[in-house]
Amino acid sequence: MAETQRTARLEIDGKTLDLPIYSPTAGPDVIDIRNLYSEGNVFTYDPGFTSTAACDSSITFIDGARGELLHRGYPIDQLAEKSHYLEVCYLLLYGKLPNADQIEDFENRVTTHTMLHEQMVNFFRGFRRDAHPMAIMVGVVGAMSAFYHDSTDINDPWQREVASIRLIAKMPTIAAWAYKYSTGQPFVYPRNDLDYASNFLRMCFSVPTEDYQVNPILSRAMDRIFILHADHEQNASTSTVRLASSSGANPLACIAAGIACLWGPSHGGANQACLEMLEEIGEVDRIPAFITRAKDRNDPFRLMGFGHRVYKNLDPRAKVMKQSADEVLGLLGVEKNKKLQVAKELERIALEDDYFAEKKLFPNVDFYSGVILEAMGFNTSMFTPIFALSRTVGWISQWKEMIEDPAMKIGRPRQLYSGNTRRDYVDVEDR
Ligand code: SDX
């Protein structure tokens, strides 16, 4: 962040405050209001944080107007095409692309930590069979802090590193076992001779009664989906992890908080909601009625997978996901997939509609992902767990950056109070 001599002058009841302005390496300038209350005795008011920079970060940058997403400066479309998920994990965690030795060592450390403590199997068995896999992930990841005591001291750099590798390594196993538990099939253990995406697919879809060969088309598509969901600035779940971690709580419990936040249909739960919406629409000729509902302010219905707080142009991840949907479904011989046809027609109609143009509503990362995941064999309840698995590296990288920042303070927002002012207690017989 570049210090500038520029200031923003604020006049409040005859008092003048000059607030420093900082220029970032990219994006809008920021006004430093840290002394506003102490010097001006006022708060700012920004529910939903539409205009608030909550931290100084160098991991991910989004240009919402241009529809650009950079991870440590590298564009997401180049990473999706040329990189692979564990290399993107290294980039997000350590700030640079690894050389051959570094990526081999990193992949080996992740690969050799994919197993869960065997006693943790009991946590899965405590859930009802019809429990949503996200409920299982919240519970099991939170329970990790009761098992892995040697990676919960956030002030020990080595323990922070161990926690980071453990979470990235074990999340696919937890997600796959949550899926297997919901199907009544036995858990499948990870294998060290498979790459990250292939391991996850095998843990989800193989059964003891026959050999399972990973389809390289699905493995590449899975890895690309992991990359597209890896990190995304200070979104709701990442902000949850940062705020929870700012109290010094252990990272395993804080990641569980992030999973809980991601589950909401306005956030990571939108991929499941979007596919269910496409199923409800069913046919292309039913689209106009749903568009009408989405535009009706009195109707709570929204086009799931559309709109974004930051992107006011096409989400670059949606662009890559749409290309991947065509490629994967074509290679799987299901290019005539009805939901994909409805999705494409829905996008075309919406983008020609003034309502969506005026509000700058475009497809986001969740619009096409569900079509691919369903074609790969996942049921809708696994869509958000896959998002959570992918985003774990983003949560951990942002957590690491915050813990290592000497200026870190516990997060404690204030409020605009609109409740009762002081009044005396009234005995029940006098009410
Ligand atoms: C993710 O933050 C991140 O980076 C998140 C994410 C990540 O990688 O971490 O990108 C992942 O969460 C993507 C978003 C997934 N959610 C959805 O697809 C759910 C549908 N989208 C909406 O709920 C909404 O667009 C949000 C929640 C995504 C954004 O909401 P905002 O920024 O608070 O915008 P808003 O609700 O104030 O909407 C602005 C206007 C409103 O109309 P008016 O009140 O001004 O008349 O646009 C309308 C909204 O009604 N609008 C929609 C709409 N989204 C917004 N109208 C119809 N359909 C929609 N999808």
Give, for all 431 residues of the chain, the pLDDT tens digit. Answer: 666 689 999 999 999 999 999 999 999 999 999 999 999 999 999 999 999 999 999 999 999 999 999 999 999 999 999 999 999 999 999 999 999 999 999 999 999 999 999 999 999 999 999 999 999 999 999 999 888 887 788 889 999 999 999 999 999 999 999 999 999 999 999 999 999 999 999 999 999 999 999 999 999 999 999 999 999 999 999 999 999 999 999 999 999 999 999 999 999 999 999 999 999 999 999 999 999 999 999 999 999 999 999 999 999 999 999 999 999 999 888 888 899 999 999 999 988 999 999 999 999 999 999 999 999 999 999 999 999 999 999 999 999 999 999 999 999 999 999 999 999 999 999 99
The confidence score (pLDDT) of residue 72 equals 98
State in Å: Cα 302 to ligand 1 middle: 8
The residue contributing the CA closest to ligand 1 atom 55 is: 307
State in Å: Cα 242 to ligand 1 middle: 22
Integer Cα distance of 232 and 240 in angstroms: 13
The confidence score (pLDDT) of residue 415 equals 97
- Nearest alpha-carbon partner for 318 in 305, 329, 309, 330: 305
Indicate whether residue 312 lines ligand 1 (CB < 6 A).
no
Q: Which positions ≥6 away from 362 have C-beta within 8 Å?
A: 67, 306, 307, 308, 311, 312, 313, 314, 315, 318, 351, 356
The confidence score (pLDDT) of residue 337 equals 87
Q: ∠ at Cα 398 (4, 110), nearest 5°?
A: 140
The confidence score (pLDDT) of residue 152 equals 81
The per-residue DSSP string of 246-277 comes to: TTT--HHHHHHHHHHHHTSTTTTTHHHHHHHH
State in Å: Cα 386 to ligand 1 middle: 21
Q: Which long-range contacts (CB under 8 A, 24 or more apart) does 127-132 make?
A: 127/181, 129/181, 129/182, 129/184, 130/182, 131/181, 131/182, 132/381
State in Å: Cα 310 to ligand 1 middle: 9
The confidence score (pLDDT) of residue 2 equals 63
The confidence score (pLDDT) of residue 118 equals 94
The residue contributing the CA closest to ligand 1 atom 26 is: 308
User: pTM of this prediction?
Assistant: 0.96
State in Å: Cα 306 to ligand 1 middle: 7
Residues 267-284 as b or e (16 or more Cβ within 10 Å = b): bbbbbbbbbebbeebeee
Element (H, E) at 316: helix 316-331
The pick from 51, 296, 308, 346 for probing ligand 1's pocket by mutation, whose C-beta has the most ligand atoms within 8 angstroms, reads 308
174: left (phi over 0), alpha (psi -120 to 50) or beta: alpha
Indicate whether residue 374 lines ligand 1 (CB < 6 A).
no
Integer Cα distance of 7 and 22 in angstroms: 9
Sign of CA dihedral 267, 273, 275, 277: negative
**Strand residue runs (E) in 324-411:** none
The residue contributing the CA closest to ligand 1 atom 24 is: 307
The residue contributing the CA closest to ligand 1 atom 47 is: 359
- Residues with a known catalytic role: 308, 366
The confidence score (pLDDT) of residue 368 equals 93
Q: ∠ at Cα 387 (382, 392), nearest 5°?
A: 125
Element (H, E) at 185: none
